Chain A
Amino acid sequence: DQQVKQNSPSLSVQEGRISILNCDYTNSMFDYFLWYKKYPAEGPTFLISISSIKDKNEDGRFTVFLNKSAKHLSLHIVPSQPGDSAVYFCAATPGNNDMRFGAGTRLTVKP
C-alpha cells in the first residue's frame, strides 16, 4: 500500500533552471510532510518540511508547496546547481512515529 507516491523516477534539468519534484499522497491523516535528499552511499539528509496548516515553506533556493485538496506537494529548486544532483525522497507522517516515504526521484543537474 503505497501511501506516498513519486511518479517520476528521474528528472534532468540544466544548471540555473528550476527543478520541480512532485509527490502525491493518499492518506488524509498525514499532517506533516518532509523532503530528504540522498547522495550515493550516504543516508538521507533532511532538506525542508511543511506542516499541513501551511501551503508554502521556503528555505533559500528550496520551496515546498502543499495542495491539501489535491493531496499533492512539490519541491522547487531555483536555481538548480550541479551539487543538487541526488535522489530526493518525499515523506509524510500523521504526527506520530509512522513516517511513510515515496520511492524517490533522481535529479540530475547538467552544467
Chain B
Amino acid sequence: NAGVTQTPKFRILKIGQSMTLQCTQDMNHNYMYWYRQDPGMGLKLIYYSVGAGITDKGEVPNGYNVSRSTTEDFPLRLELAAPSQTSVYFCASSYSGRGPGPRDEQFFGPGTRLTVL
C-alpha cells in the first residue's frame, strides 16, 4: 500500500512554461485534493474532486487546472507558469469528504517542490 504518491519531487520551470504534477492514490478513496504551501504559510486548497469526473475549485484555483478520469489519479496542470506559483504542492485523498469524522481524515503525499524562474 503506497498511499498517496506524487511526481516529480522537484521541478524548476521557466516563466510561461507548462507542466503537470501527478498524483496517484491506491486506497480507493473517493475524495482527492490539491494544496499549495508557501513559505511561512499554511496549506491552501487549490482544487478538489469528490469522484471520477467531478472537480471543483478551492480557495486559490487561478492558474491551475485539474481532471479526474479515474478514482486513482488526480493530476494538476499549470498553464503559463508564473513566479507566484513557486511553492510546495501537496496532493491528498480521503475516504469521504462529508465531514466531520475520522473517515474524513486526509492522507497526504510527500509533496512536489516547484520553482518558477
Contacts and interface: CB of A to CB of B under 8 A. Distances in A.
Interface of A: 2, 4, 6, 9, 31-32, 34, 36, 41-46, 49, 51-52, 89, 91, 93, 95-104
Contacts, number: 74
Interface of B: 4, 31, 33, 35, 40-45, 48, 50, 56, 58-59, 90, 92, 97-102, 104-111
B102 A89 contact: no
A97 B97 contact: yes
Nearest to A90: B42
A97 B105 contact: no
By secondary structure, the A interface counts as loop
27 contacts: A6-B42, A9-B40, A31-B100, A32-B99, A32-B100, A32-B104, A42-B111, A43-B109, A43-B110, A44-B90, A45-B108, A49-B105, A52-B100, A89-B42, A89-B43, A91-B42, A96-B99, A97-B31, A97-B45, A97-B48, A97-B56, A97-B58, A97-B97, A99-B43, A99-B106, A101-B35, A101-B43
